[in-house]
Amino acid sequence: MRRLGSIKQTQLDKVGAERRASPLILHRAMLLLAGISILALALVHYGIALGLPPAVSVKSAQPDLCALAALALLAIGAAPGPSASFARRCTALCAAGLAVMVTLGHCADRLFSVSQTANVAPQLGDMSAPDMLAFVAWPVGVLLLAIGEGLLLCRLRPGRATLWAAALWSCLPLIGFAIRFDHFQTASTLLLAVSSLSIAGAALLSGVDRKPRTAPADAVGNQLMAMSDIGFDLLTGLLTRNSFERFVETQTATQSAAMMLVDIDRFRAANHVLGNKVADDILIEIAKRLRALAAPHPVARTGSDEFAIFCHPIAEDAAQAKAQQLVATMARPFALSDGRNFYLTASVGLAHSATDGVGDLRDAADEAVFIAKNQGGNQAVSFLRTQHDERIERVGLEQDLYTAFRSDDELFLVYQPIISLRDHSVIAIEALARWQHPTAGLVPPSRFVGIAETAGLFSGLGAKIRELAVRQVAAWRDSGITNLPVVNLNISPLELSRADVPGTLSALVDRYGLERSTFCLEVTEGAFADEDASRALQVARDAGFLVAMDDFGVGYSSLAQLPKLPLTSLKLDRGFLSLARNGDDGISLFATIVQLAHVLKLPVVAEGVETPAELAVAADCGCDFVQGYFFARPLSPAQMELCLRSATELGGPIRLISPPLIPGRAGMSATCTTGTTGAPILSCTI
């Protein structure tokens, strides 16, 4: 995201021009006055009368060419203005240093001359205080000016104080001239003091802040300007994030304050399309709209396309109404310089102090704007404690998933059988993940699978599930079980397109010495809409794995594409069973899809069979296999092993049996029931 827009291009023509112009004009005026005074002083030095009384003090107090040179160098030292470059400031610093050298050389020469002249030495010792003051007036003034300019050019704090001291010192000859002290009643004294004062003023003005600020348009502007170190955004003139936060901290906590955060939707794309210049113009217009709508409350620019408004005092319903107005205001078109209209929307997060559990207003508003963005934007969302708690829980589970991937004590698998309608044998089992959280208990897959997908953790979760499944099949084989079923593994389309699932799974299966045909990759129709995922499935099929399309009929299904897909079976979504129960048309559609799959030599699995009526529909329509709670809920590895071991011992197909109650994980228990077909049915409650 862009930081503060095109600052270099906008700070001269868009903000703060008036505040920069005043010190610059005064600075130039002071330099002009200093130049005129130095020129006049030169004329006086060369004997051109100005109508003022001649000097009455000692001749050593009269400025000569050294004084003129020092003042001219000091004028150069004060010449860099508020926006001076580094090179100009270095040049000015050198000029100030030369002025010091000239002055010190002049003073040394004077003192040496006085000490070598016998008739002058007694006179110097007999000087009165005014005489001595006149004698050192301009050397001390030049030294103070030079030191102050040097410190200021080096951006050291004592510089301004030294310049103020030089200005006060320059006022002494002026005061003496005004009250007609004889020692100061000369033209050179007057011009020297005016020159020094002008140079001191120019030097002070040259140290004005080079980052000018614009005054806020809000009614609270006077209060804000009184705060120390307050800052304004150079592009929009709004408060900066830091100054806004400092202002909010100064407000007394009440039950009638609200914070609104405004995030412009998809502004980065607009910036890329329109360019920085036009995007800056839009940001300036956004700032104007926000100021007009929020007045008299302060508005800040807290990010490149993020703004904040603090309303105090304001009722909760009034704050909600204003948040809705913000959404409508941002939806109005923005007129571009070429006559076109450009449309943007905004997400607004509102937090009011009267809301239960709101806590820090800024954090609560940030929570609300995050929800607004996740829900598609162009809306205002008010903070609710329940939403906050859900997000905290979600973030906590997301972090705990990292630990679960690295542990064998939390994630585990259960297996739901897929039953053949021909003889009610188990021809495959689907591996389903479960998470036994150490404190939250059993977390349902609908909860943690969604978290893994949105957090980009699904590859880790999928890899862990596949590893557990392969290890379990290898353990069954090593325990003497020879009649192993096909194990269906659910694969995310996103994971297929980003990770080498066929390669890593092949390496894992080969490491344990298992047949690749023992495993079937179950994918939803979305995988075939992604070219990378579709290619990965073809690689998996060529490597010897089975491939099944899960939930056929609810996503991107296309009958014309079925012959081209690397499938070994087709699983029909439960919705077809529900449709078939509603009338003959649904049954006809179900049967037609089954027949089409058979034409393509694809076995069909009916998912979600839970009642005898649904089982009858699946059988009548020609389905080969069924899966659902009517036959069995997901079984634990121990329960599944009983079925497999029985089949191995009897030498026949795998069938569901009624084992004794098996202690399960997280409250899992097994009970035996009997289905309408007479076959024993295992019902596992989780």
pLDDT tens for 462-472 read: 888 999 999 99
Does the pLDDT at position 685 exceed 50?
A: no
At residue 559 the predicted structure's pLDDT band, cuts being 50, 70 and 90, is low
Fold of the 411-654 domain: TIM Barrel (3.20.20)
Counting residues of the chain whose pLDDT is more than 90, the rounded percentage is: 26
Instruction: Give the orientation angle of helix 65-77 with respect to helix 17-45, to 10 degrees.
Output: 170
Cβ neighbourhood burial of 215 (10 Å; 0-12, 13-18, 19+): middle
Q: Residue 361 and residue 363: Cα distance in Å, rounded? A: 6
Question: Would the pLDDT of 629 be above 60?
Answer: yes
Q: What amino acid is encoded at 255 in this protein?
A: Q
> In the structure, what pLDDT confidence band is assigned to residue 45 with cuts at 50, 70 and 90?
low
CATH of domain 221-383: 3.30.70.270
Q: Write down the pLDDT at residue 181.
A: 64
Lowest mean pLDDT among 308-322, 608-622, 623-637, 670-684: 670-684
What pLDDT does 627 receive?
Answer: 94
Provide the Cα torsion 500, 506, 508, 514; round to 10°. 160
| pLDDT for the residue numbered 61 | 38
pLDDT score of 202 more than 80: no
Task: Report percent pLDDT > 70 for the chain.
Answer: 71
More confident residue, 178 or 498: 498
- Indicate if the pLDDT at residue 9 is higher than 50: no
Q: DSSP secondary-structure letter at 548?
A: E
pLDDT on residue 673: 37
> What tokens were used for 625?
């296999």
Lowest mean pLDDT among 134-148, 332-346, 420-434: 134-148
Instruction: Output DSSP code: residue 529.
Output: G
Query: DSSP for 291-327?
Result: HHHHTTS-EEE-SSSEEEEEESS--HHHHHHHHHHHH
Say which residues have a Cβ less than 8 Å from residue 220's Cβ, sequence separation at least 6.
Answer: 296, 297, 298
At residue 121, the pLDDT reads 46
User: With bands split at pLDDT 50, 70 and 90, how would you rate the model's confidence at 130?
Assistant: low
**524 backbone dihedrals φ, ψ, rounded to 5°:** -80, 170
314 touches 257 (CB < 8 A): yes
pLDDT (tens digit per residue) in 146-155: 777 777 667 6
Residue 185, pLDDT score: 62
Beta bridge partners of 521: 489, 547
Instruction: Please give the pLDDT value at position 1.
Output: 37
> Which are the contacts of 675, defined by CB distance < 8 A and separation ≥ 6?
612, 630, 631, 681
pLDDT bin (cut points 50, 70, 90) of residue 670 is: very low
Q: Which pLDDT band, with edges at 50, 70 and 90, does 138 fall under? A: low
Query: What is the arithmetic mean of pLDDT over 668-685?
Result: 36
Q: What is residue 63's predicted lDDT score, i.e. its pLDDT? A: 52
Task: Pull the structure tokens for residue 659.
Answer: 């084992």
pLDDT above 50 for 210: no
Q: Sorting pLDDT into bands at 50, 70 and 90, what band is 556?
A: low
Query: What is the predicted pLDDT for the residue at 254?
Result: 66
- pLDDT for the residue numbered 601: 92
Q: For position 7, what pLDDT does the model report?
A: 37
Q: What does the mean pLDDT of the chain come to?
A: 76
Predicted confidence (pLDDT) at residue 652 exceeds the cutoff of 80 = yes
Query: What Rg value do the Cα atoms of the chain yield, rounded?
Result: 43
Which pLDDT belongs to residue 606?
A: 93
Domain boundaries, the chain: 17-206, 221-383, 411-654
Contact 382, 260 (CB under 8 A): no
On the question of pLDDT at 203 being above 80, the answer is no
pLDDT at 212 over 50: no
AA letter at 667 = G
Q: For residue range 371-419, what is the model confidence (pLDDT) as tens digits? A: 888 888 899 998 887 776 777 777 888 888 888 877 778 889 999 999 9
Q: What is the pLDDT of residues 216-246, one digit of tens each?
A: 444 444 544 444 345 788 888 899 888 888 8
Whole-prediction pTM: 0.54
H helices of 482-609, in order, are 493-498, 501-511, 531-542, 574-581, 584-599
pLDDT at 221: 47
Q: What is the pLDDT of residue 170?
A: 72
| pLDDT above 60: residue 289 | yes
Return the minimum-mean-pLDDT range out of 20-34, 460-474, 517-531.
20-34
Torsion of CA 355, 360, 363, 368, to 10 degrees: 10
| Mean pLDDT, rounded, for 620-632 | 92
pLDDT number for residue 331: 92
**pLDDT attached to residue 223:** 47
**CA-to-CA dists, residue 686 to 145, 257, 407, 641, angstroms:** 88, 48, 22, 18
